[in-house]
Structure 1
Amino acid sequence: MKHVLITGGAGFIGSHVADELLANGYRIRVLDGLDPQVHGEQRKRPDYLAPDVEVQVGDVCDKEAVRKALQGIDAVFHFAAAVGVGQSMYELAHYTRVNNLGTAVLLEQMIQEPGRKLVVASSMSLYGEGLYRNTAGQACEAGERSLEQLKQADWELHAPDGSVLMPVPTPETKPPALASIYALSKYDQERMCLMTGRAYNFPAVALRFFNAYGPRQALSNPYTGVLAIFASRLLNGSAPKIFEDGLQQRDFVSVYDVARGCRLALESQQATGDVFNIGSGRPLTVRDVAGKLAQVMGKQGIEPEIVGKYRVGDIRHCFADISRARRVLGYEPQVTIEDGMAELAAWLEGQAAVDRVSQAAAELARRGLTV
């Protein structure tokens, strides 16, 4: 498996996976459409891509481009996807085309010569709410918060007796609760890959990424990861906007840990046919993360703006149980949030960002997608 194709490999996570694989003796080819929302209107090869990476510019929905990209390839990382919970709720056709149709086109080309290993990027978003326990300590699925509850700024999940449910690490065994078109499409991607791999007898693995952060995030894309969005605001001297009360808990994982987890999944024979959480295993509130980022960027004077509104498709708490990845893949996060934030801040010093967050928020509000 020494010659590897990464679809979407010019992006944030894909480029780091390319670096990880190059450092371990692999040859890398990338198929990427260089989406202007991520790469800018010029759609040029990113400077951060290693010179040894071969880039083929093409649409993952174009079977000829995919067929050409697969020539001579031993294994595939499928990262090509439209990303963004909020945007997916009004660009339904675009997200379905890129994520669902693009995956189908790739799989149809792969089954022409079955045998290549496939690792697909899935997402924690498909869980919806994470796993919870009630006051008796029993694990339970929380369901969704009602519109009436959210209008009253009652953000937490409640048991039938009214008590507040407590979030706990979410394992891969939790059934999906698909709260957005993006989440639905990511679930489709992973199921399609695992199903087709089983039917055609080629090894396939799905990795459910949690909130990855680090250098190379698309700072001018208002639908990218939350830390990149906060960084874009802070670079422009504006306060990060936080929905609800900012106490929602997420799992923030360094992109270097994600890249290592991807390589381990590729190299593990025991991983075939399974799904794995790739996160830090450590919950942090969104408000706390915004404060940490402002501090390392030297922007302590800019307090986050707590919006007090709900965005359709958002969930309250979700952080990873990574015990399966530890046991099967040998995955262990190595980058602390403190070290990861410090490196992110150092990278941000040389960056510029077009702040489109207010524009994106206005678009959601205009369509009735915030409460």
Structure 2
Amino acid sequence: MLRLADRTQSAFKRREEWIAGHAVSFGLPARIGRNGWRIRRSGGNWVADTILVTGGAGFIGRHVSHALLRLGHRVRVLDNLIEQVHGGRDWPEGLDPEVELLVGDVRDEAALIRALRGVDKVVHLAAEVGVGQSMYAVDRYVSANDRGTATLFQQLINRPVQRVVVASSMSIYGEGLYRDADGRLAEDVVRQPRSGMVTSWDPVDVEGRPLQPVPTPEWKRPALASVYAITKYVQERLTLTLAPAYGMEGVALRLWNVYGPGQALSNPYTGVLAIFASRLQNGQSPVIFEDGLQRRDFVHVEDVAQAFVLALAHPRAAGGVFNIASGQDRSVQEVAELLATAMGRLELVPEITGKARAGDIRHCIADIGLARNVLGYTARRDFMQGLAELAEWVARQQAEDRVQQARKELEARGLVA
């Protein structure tokens, strides 16, 4: 399926003005070709890139595609438009009309052959997303995420591109990095919150002393606590192993909790802010596991899109793994309360379950120093402003609340206790 908007002279002018104002922040030269495409220097000539975005019709993919189009690249999207995310739409809401959309699965060799024709670079976003669901839909997650990535690279072996940027996840860290009472860093943290009754949700050292969460850098060893985390790590390693073996460049971006307008509000398995927003929009309290004091880093989707642009273009990105987050952490309960305020639903106090969900971790906050120093990445979006924009967008949407259904599925399998 191909849907391209007419590129008028006025559109070119708007794009040129936007590039002039934003190229410096992306670390790229502000220059545009006659046909309106963003251009790069290659062998003395200025050319546009054709970029394939797998899973590009999804929440993050739509924003990445839009950012690339604004910089003048040609963008092709391969997406299977699964019901859980897209609700049966033929053309995903919010997908830029200038995108070339191919409806197909990344595990389908014929679809990949078609999608890779003439492509210079790949952004690999296609994946099933959800820690809780991955713990019982094992075959589905391993097939979509790992077999999908393997099939992609099987085709890239014969049709190599310049660079592949894969979306990895903070979930691969398991528990984040901690510091003990003596100032020593603790990587391999294990918590046992239940011993007949809940004694402590937080990890402690061997002497039972509390540990303090600290920003987690990329060198921390993975501690894969869910099927989803396992599949994301495999995606990452396949990319960083196979790309250089066949003359390509691989980059992995470990994304933290991404939020913003365009999230799948009716998908109860991914995006905690979207899940909270769906509950609030339907007049229900947000549901929070444990005690609500677990800490996360929330990053706006436009900052994530910026990170992908940088990872595609920056020479020093090749072979790298980068944390992409805001650099600020908040408790999940605080975030739920702030969103309720932004949506004008202060009366809907979060429901703290006091129960643990298999695959969840306590604290994981981001060290984004490497992305800042190497890529020039910085999170520009203010969290409170981002919440206000999200609330405004949600107010115009219809969202089916499926949280209780998802919770029952987990409880029926003994994954919530």
TM range (shorter): over 0.9
Give the equivalent residue in structure 1 for 2:264. Answer: 218
Counterparts of 2:340 and 2:365, CA distance in 1: 23
Q: Deviations over 1:86-107 (max 9, x none)?
A: 0000000000000000000000
Q: Secondary structure at the match of 1:270?
A: helix
8 A contact 2:342–2:387 mirrored in 1:
yes
Range with bigger deviation, 166-175 or 44-53: 44-53
Offset of 1:143 from its aligned partner? 2.3
Offset of 1:161 from its aligned partner? 1.1
8 A contact 2:276–2:336 mirrored in 1:
yes
Offset of 1:144 from its aligned partner? 2.1
| Match among 73, 77, 84 for residue 26 of structure 1 | 73
Structure 1 position 286 matched with structure 2 position 332:
yes
Q: Deviations over 1:312-344 (max 9, x none)?
A: 000000011000000100001000111110111
Offset of 1:113 from its aligned partner? 2.2
Q: What is the percentage of aligned positions where both structures have the same residue?
A: 55
Aligned positions of 1:128-143 closer than 5 A: 128-143=174-189
Structure 1 position 148 matched with structure 2 position 167:
no
Offset of 1:149 from its aligned partner? 4.4
Aligned positions of 1:129-208 closer than 5 A: 129-146=175-192, 148-149=194-195, 151-208=197-254
Distance 1:180 1:150, change over 3 A: farther
8 A contact 2:169–2:253 mirrored in 1:
yes
Structure 1 position 248 matched with structure 2 position 294:
yes
Offset of 1:138 from its aligned partner? 1.1
Give the equivalent residue in structure 1 for 2:109. Answer: 63
Q: Secondary structure at the match of 1:109?
A: helix
Amino acid at match of 1:39: H
Give the equivalent residue in structure 2 for 1:14. Answer: 61
Amino acid at match of 1:130: G
Give the equivalent residue in structure 1 for 2:351. Answer: 305
Q: Deviations over 1:209-266 (max 9, x none)?
A: 0000001100000001000000000000000000000000000000010000110010
Counterparts of 1:370 and 1:155, CA distance in 2: 14
Q: How many residues align?
A: 370
Range with bigger deviation, 157-166 or 146-155: 146-155
Structure 1 position 321 matched with structure 2 position 367:
yes
Give the equivalent residue in structure 1 for 2:19. Answer: none
Counterparts of 1:307 and 1:151, CA distance in 2: 14
8 A contact 2:188–2:223 mirrored in 1:
no
Distance 1:242 1:69, change over 3 A: same
Counterparts of 1:7 and 1:73, CA distance in 2: 12
8 A contact 1:15–1:49 mirrored in 2:
yes
Give the equivalent residue in structure 1 for 2:85. Answer: 38
8 A contact 2:298–2:329 mirrored in 1:
yes
8 A contact 1:153–1:308 mirrored in 2:
no
| Match among 362, 369, 387 for residue 341 of structure 1 | 387
Counterparts of 2:328 and 2:190, CA distance in 1: 23
Give the equivalent residue in structure 2 for 1:352. Answer: 398
Offset of 1:142 from its aligned partner? 4.3
Which consecutive residues of structure 1, in runs of 5 or more, have no partner in the other structure?
Answer: none
| Match among 408, 414, 417 for residue 362 of structure 1 | 408
Range with bigger deviation, 137-146 or 250-259: 137-146
Counterparts of 1:351 and 1:252, CA distance in 2: 22
| Match among 145, 151, 171 for residue 125 of structure 1 | 171
Offset of 1:44 from its aligned partner? 1.6
Amino acid at match of 1:9: G
Counterparts of 2:196 and 2:332, CA distance in 1: 18
Amino acid at match of 2:72: G
Structure ranking higher on relative contact order (CA contacts 8 Å, 6+ apart): 1
8 A contact 2:193–2:202 mirrored in 1:
no
8 A contact 1:218–1:228 mirrored in 2:
yes
Q: Deviations over 1:133-184 (max 9, x none)?
A: 0011111124222263484251000011111100000000000000000000
Give the equivalent residue in structure 2 for 1:237. Answer: 283
Which consecutive residues of structure 2, in runs of 5 or more, have no partner in the other structure?
Answer: 1-47
Offset of 1:201 from its aligned partner? 1.9
8 A contact 1:132–1:142 mirrored in 2:
no
Q: C-alpha root-mean-square deviation of aligned residues, in Å?
A: 1.0
8 A contact 1:110–1:116 mirrored in 2:
no
Give the equivalent residue in structure 2 for 1:268. Answer: 314
Offset of 1:116 from its aligned partner? 2.6
Which has the larger Rg? 2
Q: Deviations over 1:176-208 (max 9, x none)?
A: 000000000000000000000121120110000
Q: Secondary structure at the match of 1:30?
A: strand
Give the alignment's TM-score, normalised by structure 1: 0.98
8 A contact 2:116–2:159 mirrored in 1:
no
Counterparts of 1:141 and 1:48, CA distance in 2: 40
8 A contact 1:296–1:345 mirrored in 2:
yes
